Structures are given as C-alpha cells and as structure tokens.
Amino acid sequence: MTYFMSLLLFGLVLGLVAVASNPSPYFAALGLVVVAGLGCGVLMGHGGSFLSLVLFLIYLGGMLVVFAYSAALAAEPYPESLGSWPVVVLMGAYLSGVGLVSSLFWGGWYESSWLPVEELGEFCMLRGDVAGVAMMYSFGGAMLVVSAWVLLLTLFVVLELTRGLGRGTLRAV
C-alpha cells in the first residue's frame, strides 16, 4: 500500500509540474484532469472513498466547462506540447525546485504515519468520510448556499468576459 501511495503522490507532483510548465491550455486542462484523478486516488487511499468520488465527479464537471472555454478562446494552430524544448526546460526547473524543497523535509516522513481514517479509532462504527459529509450538510449548510451563489456569480462573470464585442463566446482571439 505504501508503494501505491508513493506512486500516486509522485504522479500528482509530476502532473502539477506539467500543468505549471505548459503554456497551451489544451494540455494544461488534460493535466488538471489527471491531477484530479491522482488526488482523488490519494484521498481514497487514506480512507475517504465517498469524498474522493464526489470531488472527482464535481471537479470533472467543472473541468469540462473550463476546457470548453479554453478550447474556444485559444485558437492555436500548433500548440506547445509536453515534449517541446521550452516546456521540458521549465519542467526540469520545477522538478529541481520540488526536489530541493522536499530534501529539506526528508527526515520527517515516516511510512507508519500513512494510516486510513478507520484505523485511528478502536471500534469505528462509521466511516470517517460519511460522518464528515453529514456534518458538512448539517453545520455547513449556509456556507454551501453561499458557495453555490459564488459559483453562479463566477459563471456570469466568465460569460461576460468571454462575450467580446457582441459576437458570442466562440470567437478567435
């Protein structure tokens, strides 16, 4: 299990570096989907299977909208791919920065601290993520409504910004 979690975390870091170093929105949106999948795998490995499923479905729905807008606004005939020279140089710089920062904290990581939520209690009757979802809906209902209104406002702002000069959202920039 430790090797699998290490592989997921390593893929998560590589995906984040690929998103940060890629100038083309096509490949960056694809990298974000991969990062979302790996992040949800990390959550599932720590015992949050329901939370990871909900986050993955919601995040993929949002990424579908972002990818549609980025594909409509970025009309590049030859986008930069992950194998082009400037992207490879940026990825190398970012990975060396991540390696330098992780070497500062290398002595504090232990494999025994990677426990799922259910193993922390002695006789757990509930899964940790199900109790957390119930608490989010009971105590965090007002924040959930505020978050929905903020997302609706953000949608209108994005639609207004991409409208252009009355030609609609599908236009060449």
pLDDT digits (tens, 9 = 90+) for 3-47: 888 899 899 999 889 888 877 777 777 788 888 889 889 888 877
Is 96:44 a contact under the CB 8 Å cutoff? no
In three-state secondary structure terms, 72 is: helix
pTM, entire model: 0.64
Tell whether the model's pLDDT for residue 117 goes beyond 60.
no
* Cα(52)–Cα(21) distance, integer angstroms: 26
Query: Quick one: pLDDT band at residue 93, thresholds 50, 70, 90?
Result: very high
CB neighbours of 56 closer than 8 A, spacing ≥ 6? Answer: 36, 37, 40
Tell whether the model's pLDDT for residue 91 goes beyond 60.
yes
- What ranges make up the beta strands (E) of the chain? none
Q: For 63-77, 99-113, 122-136, which range has the lowest pLDDT when averaged over its residues? A: 122-136
Q: Quick one: 114 exposed, middle or buried, by C-beta within 10 A (0-12, 13-18, 19+)?
A: middle
Question: Which CA distances in Å does 5 have to 44, 46, 120, 132?
Answer: 10, 9, 18, 23
